[in-house]
Each structure stands twice: as structure tokens, then as C-alpha cells.
């Protein structure tokens, strides 16, 4: 049997060729792994989103995990995940938009937060923050104590009569603002009460104005 003698100048070329083949195999393996992850993501989107959030930020992970647990507990969402591989039915497109909105709100709530502003209008109408309670004087015979929900922060500008409600949960921020506004709905004649900062009160004409 003949022995093939390779010159010294050929060895570097062979080594580079072997390295190139090994790198190609690694790339192929990584592509297969990404394809498997993508397939898994299409079947269980909440699991993948939660894992990604955990790797990104612990605070973000807590919020996303809480939202994911809420979604998974809904029978309607379980039906959505079961039929997720279907076509472009209107209901399925609506579920896609729902999940995207909930996750986007969770991310925005952790990174930026949500804010609603209220204005207290009326002579003698005022508010005071005492610990976890907001005490309102709104023209009734007694003060009104409003407990601040968990995860909500209330800032008060007493001189301007403005309340700023902030938090990471968009629904809870809006719900808290609505409940505070309901304590004294703005009067349609003089506009006295609690209103949103950008709210326009449609005034009614009094008896004197009708003459």
C-alpha cells in the first residue's frame, strides 16, 4: 500500500477545511435548536414569554408571570391555546390581539408605569393622604376615607387640587381613578366635584339662564 505524503504547506489548508466543516455542523445544530424553540413558542407562548422575561429582568418577570397565571386560569384562553394553530378566524385574531395587548401592558407598566390624573373642583373640596388612606372633604357632612389599593401610589398637590394615581397595572390604575371620581361626580351646573384632568364637563343651563 502506498503512503500518501502531504507537504507541510498542505497541512494549514486541511486544518482550515476541518474547522470550516465543524463550524458548519455547529451552525446547523443551532438552526435546528432555534427551529425547535420556535415550534415550542407557537404552542406555548406564555411559557416562552415568561422565560424571556425572567432572563431580562426580575421585576419584569414578576409582572409577566402574574399576567400569565391569570391568562392560563381562564377557560377561554385555554380554548384559544388549543385552537391557536388554526386559520385566520375573527375570534382567533381577536385572541392574538388580546394576548399581545396584555403582555405589552405588563412590559410598559414595569418600565414606564401608568398614570391617571384627577382634579378636585369646588370651594372647600380637598383631599389629604394619610399613610395608605386618602381622606376627602367633598361637601358631605362627614369625611370620606378611601383606602389605597396594593400596588397603587397616590400623589397629592394640595394647592392645585390635583391627584396623581400611578402604578404598574393599567387596569388597577384606571379602576382606582374611576372609584375616586365616583365619590363626587362633577356637577353639571357648576362643575364641582372630582373629574379627570382632561375631562370636559358638559354644563347645563340653570333656571336663571333660561329666562
pLDDT-derived band at 36 (thresholds 50, 70, 90) equals: low
Q: CA angle, 39 as apex, 35 and 43 as ends, to 5°?
A: 165
Determine how β-strand 152-157 pairs with β-strand 126-130.
Answer: unpaired
pTM tops 0.95: no
pLDDT-derived band at 3 (thresholds 50, 70, 90) equals: very low
Q: Output the CA torsion sign for 89, 94, 97, 102.
A: negative
Q: What pLDDT does 102 receive?
A: 80
pLDDT digits (tens, 9 = 90+) for 134-149: 999 998 999 999 999 9
Separation of alpha carbons 187 and 72, rounded Å: 43
Q: Which structural domains are found in the chain, ordered by start?
A: 12-111 (no CATH), 114-196 (3.90.930.12)
- Does residue 24 surpass a pLDDT of 60? yes
pLDDT digits (tens, 9 = 90+) for 161-211: 899 999 988 899 999 999 999 999 999 888 899 999 988 888 888 776 555
Q: What pLDDT does 181 receive?
A: 94
Determine how β-strand 126-130 pairs with β-strand 144-147.
Answer: unpaired
- Mean pLDDT throughout 114-124? 92
Amino acid at each position: 500500500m502506498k503512503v500518501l505524503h502531504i507537504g507541510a504547506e498542505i497541512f494549514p489548508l486541511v486544518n482550515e477545511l476541518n474547522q470550516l466543516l465543524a463550524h458548519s455542523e455547529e451552525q446547523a445544530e443551532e438552526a435546528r435548536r432555534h427551529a425547535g424553540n420556535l415550534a415550542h413558542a407557537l404552542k406555548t407562548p406564555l411559557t416562552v414569554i415568561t422565560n424571556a422575561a425572567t432572563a431580562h429582568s426580575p421585576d419584569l418577570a414578576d409582572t409577566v408571570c402574574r399576567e400569565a397565571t391569570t391568562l392560563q386560569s381562564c377557560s377561554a384562553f385555554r380554548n384559544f391555546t388549543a385552537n391557536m394553530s388554526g386559520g385566520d378566524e375573527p375570534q382567533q385574531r381577536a385572541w392574538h390581539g388580546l394576548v399581545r395587548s396584555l403582555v405589552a401592558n405588563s412590559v410598559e407598566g414595569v418600565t414606564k408605569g401608568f398614570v391617571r390624573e384627577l382634579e378636585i373642583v369646588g370651594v372647600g373640596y380637598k383631599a389629604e393622604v394619610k399613610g395608605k388612606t386618602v381622606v376627602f372633604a367633598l361637601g358631605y357632612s362627614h369625611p370620606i376615607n378611601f383606602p389605597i389599593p396594593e400596588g397603587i401610589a397616590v400623589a397629592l398637590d394640595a394647592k392645585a387640587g390635583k391627584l396623581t394615581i400611578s402604578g404598574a397595572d393599567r387596569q388597577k390604575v384606571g379602576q382606582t381613578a374611576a372609584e375616586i371620581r365616583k365619590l363626587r361626580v362633577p356637577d353639571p351646573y357648576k362643575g364641582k366635584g372630582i373629574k379627570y384632568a382632561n375631562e370636559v364637563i358638559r354644563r347645563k343651563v340653570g333656571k336663571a339662564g333660561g329666562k
